[in-house]
Amino acid sequence: MTQLISTSDKTVEDGGLMHVLRRIYDENGRRYYKSYLFVVLCLLVISATTAFSAWIMRDVIDQIFYNQRKDLIAVISLAIMGAFTLRALAMYFQATTMKRIGNDLVASYQKRVFAKLMSSGVDFFNDNRSGRLAALISANIDGIRDVLSLTITSFARDFVTLVGLVIVMFLQDATLSLITFIIGPLLIFGVAYVSRRIRSVTRETVQLNARVIGTMQEAMQGITVIKAFTMEEQLSRKIQNTIEHARERNNKLAVVTERVTPITEIIAGFAVAGAIAYGGYRAINDAQPPGAMFAFITALLFAYDPAKRLARLKVNLEKAVVNARMIYEILDMEDKQRDAAGAAALVVDGGEIEFENVDFNYGDGTAVLHALSFKAESHKTTALVGPSGAGKSTVISLIQRFYDPSSGNILIDGQNIDNVTKSSLRQQIAFVSQQAYLFEGSIMDNIRYGRPDATDAEIIKAAELANAHEFILQQSAGYDTPVGENGVTLSGGQRQRVSIARAIVRNAPILLLDEATSALDNESERLVQDALEKVMKGRTTIVVAHRLSTIVNADKIIVINDGQVVETGTHASLSKKKNGMYARLNHLGKGGKAALDIE
């Protein structure tokens, strides 16, 4: 099985920084190259106007204030005004274009990740809690956008701006410029140290934050159980510990990340102070005009911000790449249940289902089925009964290829389901489980999930057959009534009947029922059972149940124990079998109780 959320740092080392950067640009560069060219043009304008602002300070000081050239006041002032106007427009268009690209990137990767999750096997979701998975994706998906934004702006704006300002500085005073940049290696060394520390801290921080959000989400989803069992204090302690751990790692990340700040500030302070001292000495002792010195210091101060951003680039890129890499871990997951090469679409004539010596083990090695063999005849109802853990629900999952058997074959009308596409297989099956899960939207939306092209009339007809039409009309907006989160506005019996209507509208030749009535009260069970009898007619049906009312009229009853068939027959024949498991279970249910309700 696939375990995605891990505290191991192995995946952090797999694929270096440049590998991830190259992949991101390969996937997105061609798509956005025109927009990026425009952004680069804007950034070059910003860089040029910044360098110009520093360069012109020499003329401002020397020509206007030192030489008192009145004729140049208007020219220089208009030049500065024009530079700032051009810079402002370039900054606006650059920022809005980058945000549009970023929003589009996030949306694109959200779609890709969701499509990947929808194509993943059930075992993946068994291994990864949904709340934490959603939080992890939400926390990391911006990493792709940030990588592109950081690299584009850093090189097209910060690097070019810094180069332009350095040129201005050398034009004003080459000797002082060389002295100032001697301290550059100190900054590079400090940033390299911080970058090495940032990787593991960032990954662990993201995972802990995802765990906090996921735990909160799951608590809200299970709030009725929490209240019923007075679990508030227990869960509060648990999540408080997780939050504290996450807080500690967030603080650690902040400490590691911000180490760049004092390094750059101290180095910048030495550079500026040295420049002022040197320039002041020359102005006093050599009677140098102050314009060049002011232009140099202005360029140096202007250069501070892009230099600081470039110094932090490696640190910020490490954080963004860790996020991006965790998204790629999802996108690169290998699908363990790929359709076989040349897989054909399943063609169902009668819908006969046959298990041939099927073994099944879960990923942890737990054996569930052992050489299981049986046949469910077409257009008939086959019931699976047996004690808890016997493997009944596993049979239902295997028919739908939620998992693949360890050995043996599963045939539908003689076609091995390993050799047909999963999509065509599941399109021929209608499934009703014990947990009637409803999705966000209206009642009609939830029924239509059974078949998206179903008409309103077909949906209403399905609801009538499911004994749901009457209670739906009593809702505030009828079929357009929102169901709330997981159908919270409906009762258990109502949710189950909506689920059955969804199965009816699918109009599939095979029907799988996994304890569809076990959680209902007597009245709801009667209505649901009546609906099931309608939908079972003319279909190949396999039903897992513990209540006699659900299976007594089945054409065949298969008793499973420890993953093997131990008895086969009808209710009448099995009930009379001395020392038989079915007869014993049936006897336990006499006296008005639901026979076989043994779990």
pLDDT in tens, 354-398: 999 999 987 666 788 999 999 999 999 999 988 888 888 899 999
Q: Looking at this protein, which amino acid is placed at residue 362? A: Y
Q: Looking at this protein, which amino acid is placed at residue 310? A: L
> Across the beta sheet with 429-433, what order do the strands follow?
429-433, 510-514, 540-544, 381-385, 556-561, 564-569
Bridge-based pairing of strands 381-385 and 540-544 is parallel
pLDDT at 589 over 70: no
Question: What are the residues whose beta carbons fall under 8 Å from the beta carbon of 528, sequence distance 6 or more?
Answer: 467, 493, 496, 497, 500, 516, 517, 520
Bridge-based pairing of strands 429-433 and 510-514 is parallel
Res 484: pLDDT: 77
Res 353: pLDDT: 95
Res 597: pLDDT: 44
Res 10: pLDDT: 40
Res 55: pLDDT: 84
Res 545: pLDDT: 76
Q: Which residues of 72-109 are buried (b: 16+ CB within 10 A; e: fewer)?
A: eeeebeebbeebeeebeebbeebeebbeebbeebeebb
Three-state DSSP class for residue 41 = helix
pLDDT at 148 over 50: yes
> Could you give the maximum distance between any two Cα atoms of the chain, in Å?
120
Q: Could you say which DSSP state residue 111 is in?
A: H
Mean of pLDDT values over 431-459: 88
Cβ-contact 157, 350 below 8 angstroms: no
- Judging by beta carbons within 10 Å of its beta carbon (0-12, 13-18, 19+), is residue 528 exposed, middle or buried? buried
User: What pLDDT, in 10s, does the model give residues 108-145?
Assistant: 888 888 888 887 777 777 777 766 677 677 767 777 78
pLDDT at 554 over 50: yes
Res 124: pLDDT: 77
Res 549: pLDDT: 67
β partners of residue 17: none
Please state, for a pLDDT cut of 70, what percent of the chain lies above it: 82
Per-residue tokens: 187: 């900054």
Beta-strand ranges (E) seen in 36-97 are none
Cβ-contact 148, 317 below 8 angstroms: no
User: What pLDDT, in 10s, does the model give residues 513-542?
Assistant: 887 766 566 776 777 777 777 778 888 999
Res 319: pLDDT: 74
Q: Which fold has domain 10-331?
A: ABC transporter transmembrane region fold (1.20.1560)
Domain parsing of the chain, residue ranges: 10-331, 351-428+508-523+531-599, 440-507
pLDDT at 492 over 50: yes
Q: Could you say which DSSP state residue 344 is in?
A: B
Res 321: pLDDT: 80
pLDDT at 416 over 90: yes
Per-residue tokens: 563: 């993953």
Q: How far is CA 514 from the centre of its chain?
A: 29
Mean of pLDDT values over 238-244: 80
Question: What are the residues whose beta carbons fall under 8 Å from the beta carbon of 384, sequence distance 6 or more?
Answer: 392, 395, 542, 543, 544, 558, 560
Nearest alpha carbon to residue 427 among 506, 516, 334, 355 = 506
Neighbours of 21 (CB within 10 A): 18
Res 303: pLDDT: 78
Structure confidence at residue 6 as a pLDDT band (50, 70, 90) = very low
Per-residue tokens: 105: 């990137």
Nearest alpha carbon to residue 211 among 128, 318, 328 = 128
Please state, for a pLDDT cut of 90, what percent of the chain lies above it: 17
In CATH, what is the architecture of 351-428+508-523+531-599?
A: 3-Layer(aba) Sandwich (3.40)
User: What pLDDT, in 10s, does the model give residues 291-347?
Assistant: 777 777 777 777 777 877 777 777 777 778 877 888 888 888 877 777 888 889 999
Q: Could you say which DSSP state residue 482 is in?
A: B
pLDDT at 438 over 80: yes
Structure confidence at residue 38 as a pLDDT band (50, 70, 90) = very high
What does pTM read for this prediction? 0.68
Cβ-contact 452, 506 below 8 angstroms: no
Nearest alpha carbon to residue 330 among 118, 19, 22, 117 = 117
Cα–Cα distance list, 496 to 457, 463, 465, 528 (Å):
20, 11, 13, 7
pLDDT at 82 over 70: yes
